[in-house]
Amino acid sequence: MKDLLQIDGPRLWVSLTEMARIGATAGGGVRRLALSEEDRQGRELFARWCREAGMTVWTDEIGNLFARRAGTDANAAPVLMGSHLDTQPEGGRFDGVYGVLAALEVVRALNDVSATTEKPIDICSWTNEEGARFTPAMLGSAVFAGAMTLADALAREDADGVTLGAALDTCGARGAKPVQGVAIDSYFEAHIEQGPILEANGTTIGVVTGGQAIRWFDVHVTGVAAHAGTTPMRYRKDAFFGAAQMALEIERVMARYAPLGLVTIGQMQIANSSRNTIAANLTFTVDLRHPDDAQLDAMERDLRAACAAVGGSRGLGVNIAHCWTSPATPFDPACVALVADAVERLGYSNERIVSGAGHDAIHLARYCPTAMVFIPCVDGLSHNEAEDALPEDVTAGANVLLNAVAARAGVRVPEAVAV
């Protein structure tokens, strides 16, 4: 590996540990919701580290936080790296933040050997990737890539009725730079897998070839409110029991799409709920995923048919609202090849993998050439306080990111310090 660049693994681990203290939870995880006070502190720390690394820092109109290491060609479009600093309400220490701080470590490693690059190298921490506070997920990158208008994004409200625009102002994150129309050479994102495949296969690096299709729905079930103590069971139109039957039927019919098809009911809410009142209005969410768009179309048809059949048998009203779609997205072959080449030269075990989770890279892939680097996470856990990754895997992923990005950006290392 004489001709390969290397990051400082212990330095990256210290950065991850320090960032994890912001919003740390009692269970060992992190709560750093988008544009919260904790997110503001995380952004501030990251921006300070970037400035200390000699980078120029700015934010755009949707709060995406950028930092730039200058290239020798001031007119060249930058090679962009990034991910996000926001977390789930009970999130982990690596989801998102690993990609941001691995990118910072790339810049630090280039500084260590006084390397220059022809193209500038940028880092971005995207706003509201998780979608835990504002819907949809990957909101900042969606606006950047033109998949969502700025006005629509700024008007989105959280559960307390606070608009994203107001939260940007409270957080001090609203920038003046235009969010759209920015020239980007390419985009690279490092991330934990968020699943068990790499660990189960004993693989160090996942060379990500693209992202699977995702579709979100809200299922509204309408019954009749009635007294819990005076209404015989045969006369009831109970929205909850109907929804429970729908959930089981959805699970049954989606089994025909295994192992690639996935269905999740992640939220359920009874409107005006009371302990002694039969549920009349209930909403539950459905998340459908498959690597093939045509298969996802079929899954949606089966979802709608299953809910309609159960609703009809119980005399319940059913309305299914489509909330969001992310189509299956292949990554750029040339950028994927740079990742694969870096992995091979570094000598890490690796495999091709499709991303099961949504990432900012999915939006960026429709905007500029894009690739991702996956590392294993312990027990495949993510969106969980127990989320973890091994230091050696953290280092390996950052080394792959470094060498792929350096190659794309046109790196030169002075002979006196050449590695």
Pairing of strands 370-375, 186-192: parallel
Q: Are 283 and 222 in contact (CB under 8 A)?
A: no
Consult the annotation and say whether 322 binds a ligand: no
Consult the annotation and say whether 290 binds a ligand: no
Consult the annotation and say whether 84 binds a ligand: yes
Consult the annotation and say whether 95 binds a ligand: yes
CA-based nearest residue to 30, from 112, 101, 82, 94: 94
Residues with Cβ within 8 Å of 356's Cβ and at least 6 positions away in sequence, in order, are 194, 195, 212, 262, 289
Question: Quick one: tokens of 192?
Answer: 């934990």
Residue tagged 């019919």 (tokens): 253
Consult the annotation and say whether 130 binds a ligand: yes
Q: Are 206 and 350 in contact (CB under 8 A)?
A: yes
In our burial notation (b when 16+ CB lie closer than 10 A, e otherwise), range 195-228 reads bebbbeeebbbbbbbbbbbbbbbebbbbbbbbee
Q: Are 331 and 206 in contact (CB under 8 A)?
A: no
Residue tagged 């934990």 (tokens): 192
Using CA of residue 202, residue 206, residue 212, residue 215, what is the dihedral sign?
Answer: positive
Residues making up the annotated binding site are 84, 95, 130, 191, 383
Which residues contribute to the annotated binding site for Zn(2+)?
84, 95, 130, 191, 383
